[in-house]
Amino acid sequence: MPRFDDQTVLVTGGTGGQGSSHVRAFHAEGANVVIGGIDTGRGAALVDELGTRACFTRLDVTDESSWSAAVLAAESTFGTLDVLVNNAGIQNPPATIDSTDPATWSRILDVNLTGAFLGIKAAAPALRRAGGGAVVNIGSTMALGGTAHYAPYVASKWALRGLTRTAALELGRDHVRVNTIHPGVIATPFIHEPAAGATAPIADFYSPEPFAVPRLGEPADVTQLLMFLTSSDASFITGAEYVIDGGLHLGPALRSEAA
């Protein structure tokens, strides 16, 4: 039986590289999907592709009123909201801290951190009304260490870890579980297109060749973990953090010739 029959899942950044993979997979496993995003054209195309049990809501995660509208869209269209995936995220153009514009700092924190805060705030009453559910915040392996030239992004994703743990404590008695997934380098526009204000994409500077699993991650890799964490199979998992990075954060592996 599909794992998400009769459940409604809201995915932010739902038209993006990972978000659209999550949306398609939840839908294939029986869920009603609410695609939250700022790209109305892609949202409409994804709804057309899915056919039934799908709607798009224009959701800028930094805007509290569009969060209210998204939760309302879920409940009025499908009856409940059961799963929230705080997936929307942006990266800063690479720069040292001393050359980072405070407006850039604020913008990255607004989307990556405040966006998830506003999402949990808006969704919590609906998740309670549904009798419980799950929230997953999408972090990054950059939340596990420092990364030169990415201070706003790194700080935003570190802070998301604290938000996750606190939300897990606050919502646990309401049967709402809250977890974080930390993807490594995943093949999406995020790495193949330059960040706003940057000239080259991260993919130009990154090779997975030295790492334990020497390939880029695919959105589906993250999707599979996300579906497990939001399913009833994970009913005892909350406040946890899952790294899915092919070993990236372990550090470089030696080439086999070195053994």
Question: Does residue number 108 form part of the binding site for ligand NAD (CB under 6 A)?
Answer: no
One of 26, 67, 78, 190 touching ligand NAD (CB under 6 A): 190
One of 85, 134, 138, 159 touching ligand NAD (CB under 6 A): 138
Strands 241-244 and 8-11: unpaired
Number of residues located near ligand NAD, criterion CB under 6 A: 28
Among residues 150, 153, 206, 242, which one is catalytic?
153
> Is the Cβ of residue 13 or residue 93 nearer to ligand NAD in the bound state?
13
Distance CA 257, CA 99 (A): 41
Q: DSSP label at 258?
A: G
Burial of 193 by CB count in 10 Å (0-12 exposed, 13-18 middle, 19+ buried)?
middle
**Residue type at position 222:** V
| Helix (H) / strand (E) containing 44 | helix 40-50
One of 3, 47, 53, 62 touching ligand NAD (CB under 6 A): 62
Question: Does residue number 197 form part of the binding site for ligand NAD (CB under 6 A)?
Answer: no
Minimal distance in Å, beta carbon 173 to ligand NAD? Answer: 28
Question: Does residue number 93 form part of the binding site for ligand NAD (CB under 6 A)?
Answer: no
> Is the Cβ of residue 8 or residue 140 nearer to ligand NAD in the bound state?
140
One of 47, 90, 240, 253 touching ligand NAD (CB under 6 A): 90
| Helix (H) / strand (E) containing 24 | helix 17-28
Interface mask (CB under 6 A) for ligand NAD, residues 13-42, using x and -?
A: x-xxxxx-----------------xxx---
Question: Does residue number 61 form part of the binding site for ligand NAD (CB under 6 A)?
Answer: yes
In the structure encoding, which two tokens stand for residue 68, read together?
């209210």
- The DSSP line for 219-240 is HHHHHHHHHHHHSGGGTT--S-
Q: Please say whether the dihedral angle defined by the alpha carbons of residues 19, 24, 29 and 33, taken in this order, is positive or negative.
A: positive
Closest among 123, 116, 56 to 86, alpha carbons compared: 116
Distance CA 149, CA 194 (A): 14
Site for ligand NAD in 41-60 (CB under 6 A): 59-60
> Is the Cβ of residue 5 or residue 212 nearer to ligand NAD in the bound state?
212
In the block, residue with structure tokens 């801290």: 97
> Is the Cβ of residue 10 or residue 38 nearer to ligand NAD in the bound state?
38
Q: Which residues lie across from 181 on neighbouring strands?
A: 138, 242
Yes or no: say if 128 and 174 are a contact pair by the CB < 8 Å rule: yes
> Is the Cβ of residue 65 or residue 235 nearer to ligand NAD in the bound state?
65
Told to judge if 150 belongs to the known catalytic residues of this protein, a careful annotator would answer: no
Interface mask (CB under 6 A) for ligand NAD, residues 160-189, using x and -?
A: -----------------------x-xx-xx
Where in the sequence numbering do the catalytic residues fall? 153
List contacts with ligand NAD (CB under 6 A): 12-13, 15-19, 37-39, 59-62, 87-90, 111, 138, 140, 183, 185-186, 188-191
